[in-house]
Each structure stands twice: as C-alpha cells, then as structure tokens.
Chain A
Amino acid sequence: MIEITMPRLSDTMEEGAIATWHKHPGDRVEVGDVLVEIETDKATMDYEAYEAGTLSQILVDEGATVTIGTPIALLDDGNDAAAPAPTAVHETTPLPTPVANAATPPEKAVSRPVPEVVASAPTFTRSAAPLVSEGDRRFASPLVRKLAREHALDLSQVHGSGPGGRIIRTDLNDLLAPGASAPTPGGAPRPVVYTGDVVDEKRASEPVQLTKARRVIARRLGESAREIPHYYVTAVADAEVLVQMRADLNEQLGAGEPKISINDLIIRASALALLEHPTVNASYLGDESPTMLIHHRVNIGIAVASKNGLVVPVIVDADQKTVAQLGAEAKQLALQAGTKGLTIDQMSGGTFTISNLGMYGVEEFTAIINPPEGAILAVGATKREPTVVGEVVVPRYRMRFTLSSDHRIIDGALAAEFLRTLTRLIENPWRIVA
C-alpha cells in the first residue's frame, strides 16, 4: 500500500485543497495519470501518479484543505496485503434474504437502506469521538456544508456530534450565534465574515458561489491585510518628459513591433529603484524568525485582472531586461492569464508587485501587499494638470504612485528614499532606458 501525500507544488505552499479527484476508489492508476487536481495558494494544478496501482481509498475529500505531507489517498500496488481494509464503514447492507430460502424471518424494511454507521453503533452519544478510522476525513451533513460555505466557517475545528462523528447543524450553534467567532488552533480570534440570515429579504440578497480562485484571493488578501502592518507613502512625478519620450520611442518602432506603454517604463524604473534600495526587495519571515530575506534578483509581479479574478504573473530578472522585452513579456503573460491560465511557475518567485489602475483614470490608490513580498507599488493615471514651474502655472503630465510597505522591515524613510529614486527616474526617463 502506498500512501499518497499532499505534495509541495510551490515554494510558498503550506497547504493544499483537493479541487477534483480524477480517480476514484477501485480505479486503476498508471504512472502519469492525473490523480487529482490540487488547489494551492497560487493556482490549481494537476497532480500525476508516480506509481501504478489501484486507488484504494481517498482520505481527503474534494474541497478539504490539508497541510503538505498529509496522506490524501492510498494506492494499492499489490504489496502489503496485510494493510487493514479501510472501507469497512462503507460496506453495503446485506440484501434482504429471499423468503424462499430464509432461515430467519426477513427483517422488516424500516429504512435502513444504507445504514450508515448507526448499524454498528446503535446508541451513539452526543459526545461520540469523531470518526478517525477514515483518516482526516470529516463528515458533515449537506446542510452543514452549505452553512459553512455561506458563512466561511472552518469545519476542521468543529466537533461532530452526529452518527460516526458527522458534523450536524446543531454543532454550528456556537459558530452561528450572533457575534460568535470560530475557534482557531492558535486561539486567535478568527473573524466570522457574516452572521445574519444568509438570504436577507430586506436586501433581496442571493448567495452566489465563489470560484476557487476567488476564495484563494480572498483568503490571501485577508491574511495580508490582517497580519502585515501596512502603511502608505505617495509621491508625484512630473511625467512630461516620460510621455514625450514614449511617444518618440513608439514613432521609431517598425511596423508590427509592439508599442511601449507607460507601464513598461514603470516596471523597468521600479526594477532599477529596487537595485538601488535592496531592502525594499525583501521578505519578512515571521515573528519567530531571527532573519529576514533580501532578494538579489528582482522579480516583479504584475497585478492582472483576469476573468478568474486577480492574478499576479511574475517577470523574473526585470532589472536585466529592456523596456521592449518587459513590454512583450507583460503582454504575453496578461494574455495567457485571460485565456488558458498561468502556471504555478509563472506566478511564483515574485519579490515586488506593481498594480496599475491608471488606464481606468484612477489618480491614486493604495494596494495590499502580496505576501511574502515586502512592498507593492500602486500606480495612478498620467494626467495633464496645472503645475507651478518657476513663477508660472503650466499644464504638465503628472503621475502619482503609492508604495504600500511592510513596516516590520521597511521604515518610512526607506520608503521615501525608494520613491525619491523612482521619481528621479521617471522625471529623467532616459535613465530608464539607458
């Protein structure tokens, strides 16, 4: 018997959720067959079998999340026949004996079609121990699963008092009571997202299913906003020369060469500014860690609004690429995000992120840091506005950008210095391309 465990599919992955099982107990599995789709913090990945055999048992249900290394399934490779048959709980009911050869009176058919666990435990008690013989699988009634989805409840900490440890509606009483907060392993209060009636007639509310991608975004951004002490520093740069330079550059391009965008120039400028201020290109490792990480490669994530929600493809070594190369790569990644989707590799290893809402006409905004990075740059629109030059007011192109920083590793003065460098580059844009 081979134990298949939750694999590590990205370097920041700590746990994975089972999205879809492609094989089911009893199915033949060949090397290379897709066993299961696993949703990580970055993407949903196919996980292929490394060994052949028969899938004996699924230990973690679809939708459940477990940490790396947790057994998720058992694969029978023909060895170790002594392994206990773990499916005893699911044994089918013996069929009623035909009367013709019945030695005992046939049992009356009182609703024991598949007599769940009650059959073997006729008097379970409310304090029955959760069923552990099924690995870490948690049973919950459909009603409980629905409420858990709607109220964002973590069922892993809920004691199931139903038959065989099934979590039933009554077990959620405390969690769903107004003002309640869910228990968490660490004892820290866990915010309960919503505690009122789900379908609220006064507001004509309707529950809408969240995609898996959206749930990942929600969880990660929630963690970031809750855990990272964000602060925001905004600067404004005169972009008159930058705009003119971009226009000149684009005029020089041959037919078919993609145009340079303001954003391409910002990516390159940010990369250069990060080289100058390496401690902004850094990660905090947690309160228990005596070290922080300073990254010597500059890998810039680009926040992209795709049909699946926010994704952040990463351009590696952005400091070593030309503006034209950066533009081409950014365009290709955005296109792929909107079509077949990005791979884990394309979304991992970032050291800094840029979010640009300038194309929507947004003047300035603040962004939430993309962990484990230390900072994120929120770029607004490049707009003409009245500007004092010498003693006169003239129309000039101006651009505002805001750095959100993790105060645990980046102090205000450092953020200001980084922005001063970035402003200098934008106002002297030949330095960006030189």
Chain B
Amino acid sequence: MSVVTYRQALHDTLRAEMLRDENVFLIGEEIGVFEGSYKITAGLLAEFGERRVRDTPIAEEGFTGAAIGAAMLGLRPVVEIMTINFTLLAIDQIVNHAAKIYGMFGGQAKVPLVIRTPGGGGQQLGATHSQNIELYYAFVPGMKVVAPSTPADAKALLLAAIRDDDPVLFLENLALYNTKGEVPDDDTPAEIGKAAVTREGHDLTLIGYSRMAYVASHVAQELSESDGLDIEVIDLRSLRPLDRETIINSVKKTHAAVVLEDDWLTYGIGAEIAATISDGAFDYLDAPVRRVAMAEVPMPYSKVLESAALPSNDDVRNAIYQTLDAIGRRHHKMGQGHD
C-alpha cells in the first residue's frame, strides 16, 4: 500500500500492464516525445520504444480506427484522447465500429480497446474544451464506460479495462489528476459494473461519479462534522453497465437521494439514476430525488462565470438540506455552508 496521486496511479498501472502483456500498446497525440499532455505516459516511450508507444498526427478518427483494427487482430491498444471533447472527432469510430463490431460480426471479432480520456471543466479552457460528454458513450450498448474517482480505483479500473475484451471508455478527470490516495500493491482488477458505497449512512444517499464522487465524499464528511449528518455516498465507478442494485438498496435504506453530475442536468446521467430510483425504490422514497448538475450553458471562459456554472460544494449542501427538510429530518438555513 502506498499513497500516490491519481496521475501516478494511472502511469504505474499502464507501465505494469505493458510489462505484463506484450500486446498492450499506447497510441495517441503527444504521448511519446512530449510524455502526454497530462504526463500520464511520462518515461514510457524511453522504456518501451516507438513500437509500443505511438505518437500520432492530430487525427482522432484515424488513430482510434487504427486502434480498433489492432484490437480486432489481437492487440490490446490503450488510446489516449487528449480530452473527452476530442472524442467527438472519433465518435463514429467509437459508436459505429468499436461498440458494434462484436455483435454485428456474430462474435467473430472482439475489440479489446481502452480509450483513456479526461473530462472536467474549471480549467478555463472554454466551451469546446470543458465538456462532460461521457453520457454519449454510456448511452451506447456495446460500450463500457468507467469513471474512477480515486487513485485506487484509477488503478483497479484501468487494470480491468485493459484486460476486458470489450471497448471501454476510461473517463479520467482534470481536477482529479493531482488528488492523492492509498493504492494497494496487488494487481486485482475492479469488477466493471460495480458501484462502491464509499461511506455508509442512513440520512440520505448521495450519488456521484468521477469528480462528483470526490465532491460527494468531501461534502458528506463535512456535514458529518458540522451537522452530525449520516450520509451514505455511492461512487458509481461504472456508468455502463450501471449498478442499479446498489443504488436501489441504498435508497431503500435512506428514503432520499441527491444525485451529482458534472454534465448538464437535462437528459443527463442524473436523470437515469433518478429513473432507476423511481423504478426500483419508489415506495421507499420520502422526498423527490434531487439532482445537482452544471448550468445549462456552454461553459463560459471567464473564471467567475465558469465557477458559477459548475456545481459547487455549496450547491451540493443546499440540495442535501432541501431534501432533508422535505423529509423533516432537519430544518436548516440554506446557503450557509463553507467551501
């Protein structure tokens, strides 16, 4: 067990998998000589050479397609797409090829492909570079979408993604790269499709993934200290397949839920979670499910407006207070939290 950053955990896991399996190779923009836009692949070109670490032109559709072909022929490519925004240039390859080939060819070819890509706003990268559009891929049968929020899960889910025979979109997050946490030494992959109850509680279920799972744990801890609240936190970890059972069982216990997401509210991941709760735990709800999401705007460049558009810890606290008020558990003056 060692304490490392999310970034380091990804780097170490990639390296370990490349050492373990010759068929694992990396492909993407600026991952070799430049060592990655976020330095996840630092040192790997020097160690493994150009055959295993392939720098590409700025051509997402082309190198994603090349990786799909390589995967069909037995290699295990790990594609890095610089941010999830650029996956839009490769969406036809991902949605119409990677996700479809196994089924359309009757199982004759598998696509054991990983697409690593970070989401996240808050870096003043403007509207086109600050989106959280993992939903586009979580929507597609044939894809798997995982979203670790901790260094330990970054390792365990990346192990699982590389060893999985289906195409996996591996969602990272710009704001999480420097977060630290304990990472086990052993190489046990996570089970894709299994959420984690990262904090047990009885007052309310707080659900998030990626950065918002981190925010959820943080806010739950704060409210435990400041208000004595006993909040259960679920880190979804996987958006497809979605672990509905864990969500439903938790809401059956707490009778209330708040869902956090960094994407837009309308038609978002939170809507799917709310529908899941309605389907599976309707009779256990004591208050409507609330969602906290980004403002319904293209992300502004201005730092002030960008911060205002992203869901804040205060927004999360207020949604929790409103929900608890609605079930009579507490009466709280709103908006008095501290970030």
Contacts of B285 in A (CB 8 A): 141-143
Is A105 part of the contact surface with B, judged by Cβ < 8 Å? Answer: yes
Within 8 A of A (CB), among B285-306: 285-288, 290-298, 305
Indicate whether A109 sits within 8 Å of B283 (C-beta atoms), given known contacts A125-B331, A126-B328, A171-B328: no
For residue A96, which residues in chain B have a CB less than 8 angstroms away from its CB? 295-296
The answer to whether A170 and B328 have CB atoms under 8 Å apart is yes
Residues from chain B with Cβ under 8 Å of A171 in the complex:
328
CA distance A132 to B29 in the complex (A): 64
Q: Binary interface profile of B, 296-318, with partner A (CB < 8 Å = 1, else 0)? A: 11100000010011010001001
In the assembled complex, A185 has its CB within 8 A of some CB on chain B: no
Does B327 contact A169, Cβ atoms closer than 8 Å? Answer: yes
Do B283 and A142 touch across chains, with their CB atoms under 8 A apart? Answer: yes
Interface range on chain B: under 10, 10 to 19, 20 to 34, or 35 or more? Answer: 35 or more
Residues of B within 8 A of A105 (CB): 305, 308
Give 18 pairs: A residue, B residue, CB < 8 Å, sorted on A: A99-B298, A105-B308, A108-B295, A109-B266, A109-B294, A109-B295, A110-B293, A111-B258, A118-B322, A125-B331, A141-B327, A142-B284, A142-B286, A143-B286, A146-B283, A146-B284, A162-B328, A168-B286
Selected contact of B328 from candidates A106, A110, A142, A168, CB within 8 Å: A168
User: How distant is the Cα of A143 from the Cα of B288 in the complex, in angstroms?
Assistant: 11
**In terms of DSSP, what is the predominant structure of the interface of chain B?**
mixed
B43 → chain A, closest Cβ, in Å? 41
Minimum distance in angstroms from B99 CB to a CB of chain A: 29
User: With contacts A113-B265, A141-B287, A144-B286 known, is A170 near B329, CB below 8 A?
Assistant: yes
A110 and B295 alpha carbons, distance in the complex (Å): 8
Q: A96-B295, A125-B331 are in contact. List 16 more A-B contacts (CB 8 A).
A: A96-B296, A109-B294, A109-B295, A110-B311, A110-B319, A111-B259, A111-B293, A122-B334, A141-B285, A142-B285, A142-B286, A145-B283, A162-B287, A168-B326, A170-B329, A171-B328
Chain A residues numbered 90-106 whose CB sits less than 8 Å from any CB in chain B: 96, 99, 105-106
Task: Answer whether A111 and B319 are a contact pair too, CB < 8 Å, given A118-B326, A143-B255, A162-B328.
Answer: yes
Contact of A108 among B258, B282, B288, B308 (CB under 8 A): B308
Most A C-beta atoms less than 10 A away, residue of B288, B298, B334: B288
Query: Please, how many residues of chain A have a CB less than 8 angstroms from a CB on the other chain?
Result: 31
Q: Tell me if A116 is interfacial: C-beta within 8 Å of chain B.
A: yes
Chain B positions within 8 Å of A170 at CB level: 327-329
Which residues in B have their C-beta under 8 angstroms from that of A113?
265, 291
A288 near B: Cβ within 8 Å? no
CB distance from B308 to the nearest CB of A (A): 7
CB contact list, B269-284 vs A, under 8 A? 282-284
